[in-house]
Amino acid sequence: MKNDLNNSMFYGAKPHIFEKAKELRNNMTEAEKLLWGKLQKNKIMGLRFKAQHPIDIFIADFYCHKLKLVIEVDGGIHNLPENKEYELDELMN
């Protein structure tokens, strides 16, 4: 059962991706916090969203498994040169 859940919900994400997701959950941007306030606790049509959810080599800002829906919240932090380089490195590793 756990293996099926891992394959279907996390699509084979590796342990280091889970660690990074936990870090990101603890350091959400203001935009992410605002949206999370609307998505958490099944507030929208009873749908469950997960914040900073591992999917393969990626981390989705928000994910609803029932709908297979990913929501990404971009902000100024993604435009900083050091973050562009970091995000590219993350995709390659």
Residue 6 is predicted with a pLDDT of 47
Write out pLDDT tens, residues 34-77.
999 999 999 999 999 999 999 999 999 999 999 999 999 976 66
pLDDT of residue 35: 96
Is residue 25 very low, low, confident or very high in pLDDT (cuts 50, 70, 90)?
Answer: very high
Domain count, the chain: 1
Compute the average pLDDT of residues 16-23.
Answer: 97
Q: What percent of the chain has pLDDT over 70?
A: 73
What is the CA 8 to chain-centroid distance, rounded? 15
Structural domain of 36: 2-92
Residue 35 Cα distances to 28, 40, 42, angstroms: 10, 9, 13
The model carries a pTM of 0.74
